[in-house]
Amino acid sequence: MFSSRLTSKLKEAASVVAFTGAGMSAESGVPTFRGEDGIWKKFKPEELASFDAFIRNPEVVWEWYKYRKQLLLSVQPNPGHFALAEMEKIFPQFTVITQNIDNLHRRAGSGTVYELHGNIERNYCIGCGMKYSNEEIPSLDRAPRCAQCSGLIRPDVVWFGELLPVEEWNASVAAAERADIFFSIGTSAVVYPAASLPVSAKHAGAYVVEINIEPTELSHQMDEVLLGKSGDLLPRLVDVLKHSLVR
């Protein structure tokens, strides 16, 4: 199933990174951004996932995030998420770097998770910075307003044109540069600067492996491309690891 090169690299790896995108959560029923059922299909990113769009039309942007928050109440982590949580127990150093805002890695039990694009379960007031969980947000019929200063409340996610959270970004770059193996899983690798991480890892000496149901713009720079669903391939990798670790 897997090349002897990959299995031997896995056996001797000390530091491993899993960099994930929307494809990681596709098997949980969360629509991806650019696939045929992709959510960007119905909307244009700049129309919804940008601060300008939010200020111009907070009700429409909240409509979209309300829909996605609602959806996430009914989805579960899939075997791919659980396999990554397993890997954290197997490798001396294991880091998840995700572009996803669905919180599914943490719900599957992963401990070290850097969320480069924020988390849809968190919100904050653009006026005074007051934080709100989804449950604490005042009624969602229109764009919710802050109880403290009546400023607009927004989802704590990174929109286009916005900077990524500095600590998470710096920690992710450091993890990519010290990785022995770097997995790029379920991402079309078109959104920057996140998409630069697999190449940075490769230049720093990591063995880079792509897991995707189809080739991407990154594929030609990868050491290996495993074509298949992350929910299938990741648990199989964990099986190989467990058997190879048995003395």
222 near ligand BV8, rule: CB under 6 A = no
90 near ligand BV8, rule: CB under 6 A = no
Query: Which residue's CB is nearer to Zn ion, number 153 or number 173?
Result: 153
- Residue 214, number of CB atoms within 10 A of its CB: 10
Closest residue by Cα to residue 78 from 98, 108, 103, 56: 108
186 near ligand BV8, rule: CB under 6 A = yes
Buried residues in 136-158 as b, exposed as e (16+ CB within 10 A): ebeeeeebbbbeeeeebbbbbbb
Q: Residues 117, 203, 220, 243: which is the catalytic one?
A: 117
Q: Which does 187 bind (CB under 5 to 8 A by kind): ligand BV8, Zn ion, none?
A: ligand BV8
Helix (H, G, I), strand (E, B) or coil at 157: strand
131 near Zn ion, rule: CB under 5 A = no
Token pair 């940008």: residue: 50
The question of whether 105 is a catalytic residue gets the answer: no
Query: Residue 10 CA to chain centroid, in angstroms?
Result: 22
19 with 184: CB under 8 angstroms? yes
The DSSP letter of residue 105 is: H
230 near ligand BV8, rule: CB under 6 A = yes
CB 65, min distance to ligand BV8, A:
7
Q: Which residues is 101 bridged to in the sheet? A: none
CB 219, min distance to ligand BV8, A:
10
Q: How many residues does the chain have?
A: 247
Among 148, 170, 196, 244, binds Zn ion (CB under 5 A): 148
151 near Zn ion, rule: CB under 5 A = yes
Task: Report which residue's Cβ sits closest to ligand BV8.
Answer: 23
Query: Which residue's CB is nearer to Zn ion, number 38 or number 151?
Result: 151
Among 132, 180, 212, 241, binds ligand BV8 (CB under 6 A): 212
Query: Which residue's CB is nearer to ligand BV8, number 157 or number 171?
Result: 157
Select the span of 84-92, 94-102, 129-137, 238-246 touching ligand BV8 (CB under 6 A). Answer: 94-102
Q: Which does 34 bind (CB under 5 to 8 A by kind): Zn ion, ligand BV8, none?
A: ligand BV8
Helix 79-90 and helix 230-245, axial crossing angle in degrees, nearest 10: 30
DSSP string, 6-71: HHHHHHH-SEEEEEE-THHHHTTT---SSSTT-HHHHS-HHHHSSHHHHHH-HHHHHHHHHHHHHH
Give the number of residues in contact with ligand BV8, rule: CB under 6 A: 37
Binding residues for ligand BV8, per CB under 6 A?
Answer: 21-23, 26-27, 32-35, 38, 49, 99-101, 117, 157-163, 186-188, 190-193, 211-214, 216, 229-231
Catalytic sites, residue numbers: 117
